[in-house]
């Protein structure tokens, strides 16, 4: 077997034992890596219904056969667990030297289980694993934690850590690395906190495994050159994802005032061109020549890396039209280890709840000081409102009642990423059917949809969403960054060539589709196993606001989604996926993907169609 190290490091935090588990070529080729490994391990090892914060939950760091190699943007790590926010499958993707080092240390994945007795830092250096007292770090922000660990163990050490939000089990706490890379939206940082695990520091010195290393290096170099030659490259380096603010405004999908509107009066002040005026440098993930992290200074003159999602949710969505202030909120979230997307949704929800007098606090739209306060109260679980909001908008709306359910912006409990969908049913369906809740990462169909036609609720759109979900799941499994392809048009054909040089396997992308489907279906089965009889197609519905409250501003004033057409499109989606009308995979779909055992297990809990 080439391309994979063939080893998973299993770390039990309760008894401080680390053992190496080997896997064979069949496992590697069936699940590929990253998200594939995570889904399979969580399915096999978790009993349904466990508390996500119990020691039985697994915290998985997983890479794929391309991770860490000298090829474009390969420094990505999948982090996964049963989500405390949604109760279903949860993962995220962090750009970090930790994944490169993990592979160089000889592991494709690290699986944590149990719970450390005291706050702990786990240090992995090649074949040596140490459990270090982390009490000094507990209560400290991620910036200080990572800086200190690097000072102690060397700058080349890769570190992922949690901040106070993860320690306090805020349900949308994530993991942070390199001062500006964050991943694990569905509370993967909170799972880490529940295990008393403050940070993981990894150093590896071995050569990566590859079937043909000279060829992989040669192709990698060609890939980097190809990216540099792409017409959009220069503009991408200037603005990265931030130019999406202007694009969203032009296309009426920039989330504004808790997703009431798709246009924001101060969009120009928080967009790509405004950002360029404040920009001090570019940062990026390992092995990347697209370095899209734009660093600006905030209200305290501190450096902050800003991305589109952070700006959309902590800016327009809460009515804040000042980029330095947005950057300040972003920096607070990073240091606390809070997902910016969920936090922006939570603040927007609180502002609307305040306006409607559902909470006692008075929090006006755009109030920077109150937003700052709220972040602190949530991250530190400070008071009743802080504790309520730290559970996410779904829970908060259940507690507050009245009509708040209609404007609690989430799917399956995960808050919506930065795209208003009053006029984009395809993107709404992408949120509805994403693997982890309302995440854009599985099918960012919106840019295609505005060209194809917003008004259509048709099979072509459904097919496009499934195609994107397949391709993006392949990126999560390989595991590399998808942005070279999505943003500068680096051709997909490069990836089978990389895969061949790394593993020796000759496969087209289409050959990998069944693998992507296997991963997607097993993750779906995981959700259904957790929810059992409660599961219905309602789980894939998007917030009512988009069906009932039309846009009142911008060129698409009056637009809203049509509920019965959305439901019909959802059925088209199920049909194409081989799922029944409740959204459950059928027995034959599962068995065609080699998942007969999963069908048998699931069938004992819910009735599966043949």
Dist CA 32 CA 460 (whole Å): 29
**Dihedral sign (CA 474, 475, 476, 477):** positive
Residues 6+ apart with CB under 8 A from 423: 252, 253, 262, 454, 551, 556, 559, 560, 561
Binding flag, residue 284, ligand SF4 (CB under 6 A): yes
Q: Is the CB of 93 or the CB of 194 nearer to ligand PTT?
A: 93
Residues 424-443 as x/- pattern, contact with ligand SF4 by CB under 6 A: --------------------
The site partner of 288 among ligand PTT, ligand SF4, none (C-beta below 5 to 8 Å per kind) is ligand SF4
**Of 87, 88, 89, 92, the residue nearest 77 (C-alpha):** 92
Residue 71 binds to ligand SF4 (criterion: CB under 6 A): no
Stretch (H or E) spanning 218: helix 213-229
User: By the 8 A CB rule, do 558 and 482 touch?
Assistant: no
Dihedral sign for Cα 315, 178, 437, 50, please. negative
Residues in Cβ contact with 60 at an 8 Å cutoff, skipping those fewer than 6 apart: 37, 38, 41, 42, 78, 79, 80, 81, 109, 110, 111, 112
Minimal distance, residue 590 CB to ligand PTT, in Å:
26
Give the number of residues in contact with ligand PTT, rule: CB under 6 A: 31
- Contact with ligand PTT (CB under 6 A): which of 4, 419, 475, 494? 475
Closest approach of ligand PTT to the CB of residue 342, in Å: 8
- Residue carrying structure tokens 């404040």: 278
CA distance 542 to 492: 31
Q: Provide, rounded to whole angstroms, the least separation between the CB of residue 472 and ligand PTT.
A: 7
Shortest distance, position 283 Cβ to ligand SF4, whole Å? 7
Which partner from the list ligand SF4, ligand PTT, none does 23 bind, CB cut-off 5 to 8 Å by kind?
Answer: none
Task: Report the candidate in 192, 187, 225, 243 with the shortest Cα–Cα distance to residue 439.
Answer: 187
338 part of the interface to ligand PTT, by CB under 6 A: yes
Residue 341 vs 539, nearer CB to ligand PTT: 341
Report if residue 285 touches ligand SF4, rule: CB under 6 A: yes
Rounded-to-integer distance, Cα 277 and Cα 288, Å: 24
Phi-psi label, residue 7: left if phi above 0, alpha if psi -120 to 50, beta otherwise? beta
Encoded one letter per residue, x for contact with ligand PTT by CB under 6 A and - for no contact, window 352-391 reads ----------------------------------------
Cα(267)–Cα(122) distance, integer angstroms: 43
| Contacts (CB under 6 A) with ligand SF4, residues 291-310 | 291-293
Which C-beta is closer to ligand SF4: that of 122 or that of 285?
A: 285
Q: Within a 10 A sphere around the Cβ of 14, how many other Cβ atoms?
A: 13
For 166, 401, 414, 539, 545, the CA distances from 417, given in Å and listed in that order, are: 20, 23, 9, 17, 15
Q: Which of 55, 64, 84, 95 binds ligand SF4 (CB under 6 A)?
A: 95
Instruction: Work out which of 162, 483, 525, 602 binds ligand SF4, going by CB under 6 A.
Output: 483
Q: Tell me if 73 contacts ligand SF4 by CB under 6 A.
A: yes
Near ligand PTT by CB under 6 A: residue from 5, 57, 67, 93: 93
- The overall longest dimension of the chain from CA atoms, in Å, is 65
Q: Is 340 in the site for ligand PTT (CB under 6 A)?
A: yes
Pick one of 146, 167, 261, 307: the residue that binds ligand PTT (CB under 6 A).
Answer: 307
Binding site for ligand SF4 (CB under 6 A): 73, 95, 284-285, 288, 290-293, 481, 483
Binding site for ligand PTT (CB under 6 A): 76, 92-95, 174, 180-185, 241, 285, 305, 307-310, 333-334, 338-341, 441, 475-476, 481-483
């Amino acid at each position: 077997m080439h391309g994979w190290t063939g080893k998973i490091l299993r770390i039990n935090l309760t008894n401080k034992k680390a053992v190496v588990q080997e896997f064979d070529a069949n496992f590697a080729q069936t699940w590929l890596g990253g998200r594939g490994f995570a889904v399979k391990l969580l399915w096999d090892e978790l009993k349904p219904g466990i508390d996500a914060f119990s020691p039985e939950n697994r915290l998985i760091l997983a890479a794929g056969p391309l991770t860490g190699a000298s090829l474009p943007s390969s420094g990505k790590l999948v982090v996964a667990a049963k989500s405390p926010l949604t109760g279903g499958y949860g993962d995220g993707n962090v750009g970090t030297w930790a994944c490169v080092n993990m592979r160089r240390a000889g592991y494709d994945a690290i699986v944590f289980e149990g719970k450390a007795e005291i706050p702990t830092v786990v240090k992995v250096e090649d074949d040596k694993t140490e459990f270090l007292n982390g009490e000094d770090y507990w209560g400290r922000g991620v910036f200080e934690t990572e800086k200190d660990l690097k000072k102690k163990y060397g700058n080349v050490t890769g570190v992922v850590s949690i901040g106070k939000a993860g320690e306090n089990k805020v349900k949308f706490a994530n993991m942070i690395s390199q001062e500006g890379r964050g991943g694990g939206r569905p509370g993967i940082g909170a799972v880490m906190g529940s295990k008393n695990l403050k940070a993981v520091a990894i150093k590896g010195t071995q050569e990566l495994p590859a079937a043909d290393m000279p060829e992989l290096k040669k192709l990698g170099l060609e890939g980097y050159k190809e990216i540099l030659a792409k017409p959009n490259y220069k503009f991408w380096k200037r603005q990265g994802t931030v130019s999406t603010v202007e694009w969203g405004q032009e296309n009426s999908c920039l989330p504004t005032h808790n997703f009431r509107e798709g246009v924001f009066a101060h969009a120009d002040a928080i967009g790509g061109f405004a950002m360029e005026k404040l920009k001090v440098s570019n940062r990026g993930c390992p092995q990347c020549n697209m370095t899209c992290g734009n660093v600006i200074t905030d209200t305290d003159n501190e450096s902050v890396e800003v991305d589109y999602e952070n700006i959309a949710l902590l800016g327009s969505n809460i009515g804040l039209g000042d980029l330095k202030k947005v950057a300040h909120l972003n920096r607070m979230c990073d240091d606390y280890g809070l997902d910016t997307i969920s936090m922006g949704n939570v603040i927007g929800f609180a502002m609307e709840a305040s306006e409607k007098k559902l909470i006692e606090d008075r929090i006006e739209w755009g109030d920077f000081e109150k937003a700052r306060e709220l972040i602190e109260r949530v991250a530190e679980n400070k008071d009743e409102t802080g504790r309520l909001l730290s559970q996410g908008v779904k829970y908060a709306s259940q507690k507050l009642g009245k009509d708040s359910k209609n404007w609690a912006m989430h799917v399956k409990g995960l808050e919506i990423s930065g795209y208003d969908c009053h006029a984009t049913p395809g993107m709404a369906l992408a949120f509805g059917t994403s693997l982890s809740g309302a995440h854009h990462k599985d099918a960012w169909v919106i840019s295609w949809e505005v060209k194809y036609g917003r008004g259509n609720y048709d099979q072509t759109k459904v097919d496009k969403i499934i195609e994107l979900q397949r391709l993006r799941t392949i990126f999560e499994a390989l595991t590399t960054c998808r942005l070279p392809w999505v943003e500068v048009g680096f051709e997909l054909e490069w990836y089978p060539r990389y895969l061949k040089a790394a593993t020796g396997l000759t496969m087209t992308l289409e050959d990998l589709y069944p693998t992507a489907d296997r991963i997607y279906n097993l993750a779906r089965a995981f959700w259904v196993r957790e929810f059992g009889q409660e599961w219905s197609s309602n789980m894939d519905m998007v917030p009512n606001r988009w069906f009932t409250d039309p846009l009142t501003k911008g060129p698409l004033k009056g637009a809203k989604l049509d509920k019965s057409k959305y439901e019909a499109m959802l059925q088209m989606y199920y049909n194409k996926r081989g799922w029944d009308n409740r959204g459950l995979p059928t027995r034959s779909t599962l068995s065609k993907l080699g998942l007969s055992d999963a069908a048998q297990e699931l069938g004992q809990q819910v009735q599966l169609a043949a």
